[in-house]
Amino acid sequence: MTTLLSVKGATKKFGELVAVDNVSFEVNEGEIYGVAGPNGAGKTTLFNLITGIPYQADDGSVHLRGEEITGLSPHEIYELGIARTFQKETAFDTLTVGENVRIGAVFGTELRPEEYEEAVEQALADLDLSADRDRLAGELSLYAKKRLMIASAIVSAPSLLMLDEPAGGLNVAELSELEELIRRLSRGDMTIIIIEHVLPLLFGVSNRVMVMDFGKRLAEGSPEELARDDVVIEAYLGERGKDAFHAISG
Amino acid sequence: MTWINERLNIRYAIWALGIVIFLAIPHVVDDKLLMHLAILGMLYAIVASNWDLTLGYAGVFNFAHLAFFGIGAYTSGILAVKLDISPWLGIPCGALSAALASVIVSIPAIRLRGIYVALLTFACSQLVLLLLLSQPLITGGQQGLTGVPQLQIGDFRFRESRFAHFYLVGLLLLCSTIFLRRLVTSDFGLSLIALRDFEEYAVARGIPLARQRLLAFLLSSIFPGLAGGVYAHFLIVASPDIFGFSLTTLLLSMVLVGGVATIYGPVIVGVVMTYVSELMASSAWMSDVFGISRGPVRFMFVAVLIVLTMRFFPQGVWGLVKQFSARVRSSQKDAPEEPAQMR
Residues B35-51 have pLDDT tens digits of: 999 999 999 999 999 99
Which residues are paired to A163 by β-bridges? A194
Residue B215, pLDDT > 70, answer: yes
The predicted model gives A146-167 an average pLDDT of 96
What lies within 8 Å, CB to CB, of B241 at 6+ separation is B144, B247
Q: Do B191 and A75 touch (CB under 8 A)?
A: no
Prediction pTM value: 0.89
User: Which sign does the torsion angle of CA A165, A166, A169, A171 carry?
Assistant: negative
In 10 A of CB B101, how many CB atoms?
24
Average pLDDT, chain A: 92
d(CA B311, CA B194): 26
Residue B191, pLDDT > 70, answer: yes
pLDDT band at A189 (very low <50, low <70, confident <90, very high): confident
Closest CA to B315 of B341, B290, B338, B296: B341
Q: Do A75 and B187 touch (CB under 8 A)?
A: no
Given its phi and psi angles, is residue B149 left (phi above 0), alpha (psi -120 to 50 degrees) or beta?
beta
- Is-contact B76 B91, C-beta < 8 A? yes
Run of H or E residues at A243 = helix A230-249
Min Cα distance A120 → chain B (Å) is: 14
Residue B313, pLDDT > 60, answer: yes
d(CA A50, CA A10): 9
What is the three-class DSSP state of A36? strand
- Is-contact A32 A184, C-beta < 8 A? no
d(CA B45, CA B256): 12
Give the B-side interface with A, CB within 8 Å. 187, 190-191, 193-194, 197-198, 200-209, 338-339, 341-343
Q: What is the pLDDT of residue B340?
A: 46
A239 or A193, which is more confident: A193
Residue B297, pLDDT > 80, answer: no
Edge-to-edge, what's the strand order for the sheet holding A67-68? Answer: A17-28, A3-14, A59-64, A67-68
Q: Do B201 and A90 touch (CB under 8 A)?
A: yes
A239 or B208, which is more confident: B208
Q: Do B343 and A134 touch (CB under 8 A)?
A: no
β-strand pairing of B152-153 with A216-221: unpaired
Residue B63, pLDDT > 60, answer: yes
pLDDT band at B8 (very low <50, low <70, confident <90, very high): confident
Q: What is the pLDDT of residue B252?
A: 93
Q: What is the pLDDT of residue B44?
A: 97
DSSP state of B162: S
3-state helix, strand, coil split of chain B in percent (to 5) is: 80, 0, 20
d(CA A180, CA A168): 16
% pLDDT > 70, chain A: 95
Least-confidence region, from B116-120, B188-192, B210-214, B320-324: B320-324
- List chain B residues with CB under 8 Å of A73: 203, 208
Min Cα distance A230 → chain B (Å) is: 37
DSSP state of A169: T
The per-residue pLDDT for range A195-208, each reduced to its tens digit, is 998 989 999 999 99
β-strand pairing of A160-164 with A216-221: unpaired
Run of H or E residues at A62 = strand A59-64
In 10 A of CB B287, how many CB atoms?
16
User: Which sign does the torsion angle of CA B322, B215, B58, A47 carry?
Assistant: positive
Q: What is the pLDDT of residue A250?
A: 55
ipTM: 0.91
Residue B281, pLDDT > 80, answer: no
d(CA A56, CA A71): 6
β-strand pairing of A191-195 with A160-164: parallel
- List chain B residues with CB under 8 Å of A75: 203, 206-209
- Is-contact A179 A27, C-beta < 8 A? no
